[in-house]
Structure 1
């Protein structure tokens, strides 16, 4: 296999690898690899916690680059017969943010970027590119919960206040904040093996009413804003929103307008592998620019990948605006 798998920055396992699958999703922070290897008699031991990296040559390039690095072996299991085989589950090191809990208090006025930098400092995580998310956030009191859930709460509040969509992503240079659809190279999907399309009104929202809190339980809540969209085309499908962080009419109007959505549109595509595509990237499929919500790479020569794709607005609604 042309893909390089190096254990403890010392042992090249390339000749032992039987298969590698990389999976990424907007629902998870850590990039995951499943590696199957055959185990010879002189094989070095592998234990959870060991460092590992996976590298390969991107499509159209000639030099090998890290695909999952820094990685950590999380699970390993083996079966013994005439030949011994081992299966490894590997994550990039953002897995520690998903598995670790803490309590945090953040004052009003900070941004999601500033808070991410604080988390990284607390957990000794190297930072790469962290663009300014700009939106000033409300005071936050996070009781015992995962660091990842705190980060995503800040990023969701940013979007609800009219800001851009970002996700945390580990790279070989360090932890970065990646803007959804912000990849410089937008790949056109080719070598299509199978493609399915789904269209639905199931989660369509054509009217949004944002309510404030009411001191009198017998009185109706104050209406802060109402926004209407494609009511003539799809009918009135109204969503009621109450968010304690939304206190002004202007903020309520931005939130209401951002939650309007037309019919849901999603695709599932299987095609020739582009091994650097990650969840959150923009790709071109049949002339449409869509966002990757999940991807599974079966690395090989050639490899194959399966992607779930959605429109930019659907990604915003499904991953950032829903409670």
Structure 2
């Protein structure tokens, strides 16, 4: 196996590993690894809370790269049906932002990257590369909710107001913000085991109405913008947006434009593993530029991967929705 698993930066578990899978999606912040180990006399005590690192040879390259680092053992379970095995679930350390709740009053004029830096500092998560997301956010009162949902609200508002889409991602150097579709290496998916294509009008939005706040229960809210898409082709499927963070007609039109979506097309791909593909990366399939919305790597020699793919318009709509 061309992979290395190290527990607590002390115990090399590589020879005991029978299966490894690593998965992540745009809907979650933390990367999750599932491992099955053979239990032998050489296996040290493994318990939740311990550090774990998974590294491997990048597809088409040499040397080793981190696939989960820093990781955290989250759950352990053992079975014995003649031969004993230990199953582990591990996450990267952004799991603390997903599992922790707080309440915040955030002033206007901050950017999503500034707010992420503050969240990470309060949870003692080191910071890596944080680009300037540039878009100034509105004042926000975040009632009891997970830190991850706060981060998502900030990134959604950034995209709603015309900024780029960013995804938090943990690396060995710390918590980073990665622009969705901004990967430098774009893989062409050529050797495929199975491809499923889905086209549907379920979830389509062809017209968006953006409302302001009426300030009264006796009259309707004012309409800030009414933006039409493919109503002639698919009929009128309207969505209404009312968000106190939208402060101008221009912002209302931008938010409405992001919500428009006619026929939705997605792909599910099973293929030989390219172990460095991450959720949020851009790939090419049959000449189409598509974004990875979720990925599961079944590591091995050979390995396999399962990808969920969608076009940029659908990813942006789901991201901003």
Instruction: Give TM class, smaller chain.
Output: over 0.9
- Partner-residue secondary structure (3-state), 2:33: strand
Task: State how far apart, in whole Å, the 1-side matches of 2:26 and 2:285 are.
Answer: 19
> Counterpart of 2:224?
224
> Counterpart of 2:69?
69
> Counterpart of 1:283?
283
| Mapped contact 2:52–2:69 kept (Cα < 8 A) | yes
Task: State how far apart, in whole Å, the 1-side matches of 2:280 and 2:42 are.
Answer: 41
Mapping for residues 1-323 of structure 1, pairs under 5 Å:
1-318=1-318, 320-322=319-321
- Partner-residue secondary structure (3-state), 1:89: strand
Task: State how far apart, in whole Å, the 2-side matches of 1:143 and 1:124 are.
Answer: 22
Task: State how far apart, in whole Å, the 1-side matches of 2:227 and 2:236 are.
Answer: 11
Task: State how far apart, in whole Å, the 2-side matches of 1:86 and 1:179 are.
Answer: 37
Q: Deviations over 1:93-132 (max 9, x none)?
A: 1111111112222111101010001111111211111111
Question: Which deviates more from structure 2 when the two are superposed, residues 197-206 or residues 293-302?
Answer: 197-206
Q: Deviations over 1:126-157 (max 9, x none)?
A: 11111111111111122222111111111111
Task: State how far apart, in whole Å, the 1-side matches of 2:219 and 2:103 are.
Answer: 36
Note the C-alpha offset of 1:65: 0.7
> Aligned-pair RMSD on alpha carbons?
1.1
- Partner-residue secondary structure (3-state), 1:97: helix
Task: State how far apart, in whole Å, the 2-side matches of 1:26 and 1:257 are.
Answer: 21
- Partner-residue secondary structure (3-state), 1:192: coil
Q: Deviations over 1:268-292 (max 9, x none)?
A: 0000100011111111111111010
| Mapped contact 1:94–1:170 kept (Cα < 8 A) | yes
TM-score, structure 1 length as denominator? 0.97
| Mapped contact 2:112–2:158 kept (Cα < 8 A) | yes
| Mapped contact 1:190–1:272 kept (Cα < 8 A) | no
| Mapped contact 1:25–1:295 kept (Cα < 8 A) | yes
Task: State how far apart, in whole Å, the 2-side matches of 1:32 and 1:55 are.
Answer: 14
Task: State how far apart, in whole Å, the 2-side matches of 1:28 and 1:256 are.
Answer: 25
Task: State how far apart, in whole Å, the 1-side matches of 2:54 and 2:106 are.
Answer: 37
TM-score, structure 2 length as denominator? 0.97
| Mapped contact 2:31–2:68 kept (Cα < 8 A) | yes
Q: Which runs of 5+ in 1 are unaligned?
A: none
Task: State how far apart, in whole Å, the 1-side matches of 2:103 and 2:247 are.
Answer: 25
Task: State how far apart, in whole Å, the 1-side matches of 2:215 and 2:24 are.
Answer: 44
Note the C-alpha offset of 1:42: 3.3
Task: State how far apart, in whole Å, the 1-side matches of 2:80 and 2:226 are.
Answer: 64
| Mapped contact 1:167–1:179 kept (Cα < 8 A) | yes
Note the C-alpha offset of 1:48: 0.4
| Mapped contact 2:13–2:43 kept (Cα < 8 A) | no
Q: Which runs of 5+ in 2 are unaligned?
A: none
Q: Deviations over 1:165-208 (max 9, x none)?
A: 11111011211001110111001112211001011111221211
Note the C-alpha offset of 1:10: 1.0
- Partner-residue secondary structure (3-state), 2:5: strand
Q: Deviations over 1:2-58 (max 9, x none)?
A: 210001111111111000010111111110000001011232100000111000001
